Amino acid sequence: MEIELKYRIPDDATADKIWDNEFFRDMEEEDSREELDLVAKYFDTPEQDLAKNEIAYRIRKEGEHFIATLKWKGRCEDGVHIREELALPVQNNSPDIGIFSESDIGDDLTAIVGDKELLPLLETNIHRKRYRIDTGTAILEFSVDKGQVITEQGSEEIREVEIELFTGETEELIQIGEKLRKEYELDTEDVSKYAKGIAIIRGC
């Protein structure tokens, strides 16, 4: 399961201030700070059967590695995104749902897709700065993202901060996020990058 808190960042200057925030630096895990480009393709059938069933299937290049990820049963409240997630390393960005066949969602995925071709639906191109936070009672990943969601129907700029909970309680994630929100007067981001792309495609 993935649990993360998201806020929209209004401009690049604020993004830089958030990245250099001393409160979070004091809890930073040594040698965890890094920057990387994340290029992801989201796949679906020509009829968008996965999207209709609220399932996102992406293959993302992270440095020199490819990671295939499924996300489903998502919900969001006040910027806290909670959803089931399954991620597996793959050799390239060619879609193949067969790699998920032995998972709990494998049978459902096969029934939804059947023998239909999987095509690129949308793309995200993100530059991410990130590091890990250790509070003593929780481990989190702190990320500042800037980039784009890209579809054939149009694109949207992305500028947001994500705090993902690895271990610990959701209440502590919310407390840390609330400090950040108040300091920079941020708005919660209740729409995922994938959902933004779907909205562009559907003209919402």
Contact 41, 58 (CB under 8 A): yes
Give ∠ CA 19-77-156 in degrees, rounded to 5: 55
Q: Could you read off the pLDDT of 78-121 as tens digits, one per residue?
A: 999 999 999 999 999 999 999 999 998 999 999 999 999 999 99
Average pLDDT, the chain: 95
Helix (H, G, I), strand (E, B) or coil at 32: coil
- For residue 148, give every residue at least 6 positions away whose Cβ sits within 8 Å of its Cβ, in sequence order, or none: 124, 125, 126, 155, 156, 157, 158
Cα–Cα dist 47/199, whole Å: 15
Per cent of the chain over pLDDT 90 is 95
Cα–Cα dist 123/40, whole Å: 6
Task: Answer yes or no: is pLDDT of 204 > 80.
Answer: no
What pLDDT, on the 0 to 100 scale, is given for residue 26? 82
Cα–Cα dist 132/29, whole Å: 5
Tokens of 143: 């990320």
Contact 165, 190 (CB under 8 A): no
Say whether domain 2-202 belongs to CATH 3.20.10.10.
no
| Half-sphere exposure of residue 127: CA atoms within 13 angstroms, side-chain side | 6
Phi, psi dihedrals of residue 7, rounded to the nearest 5°: -130, 145
Alpha helices in the chain (DSSP H): 12-19, 22-25, 49-52, 106-113, 170-184, 193-202
Cα–Cα dist 172/98, whole Å: 37
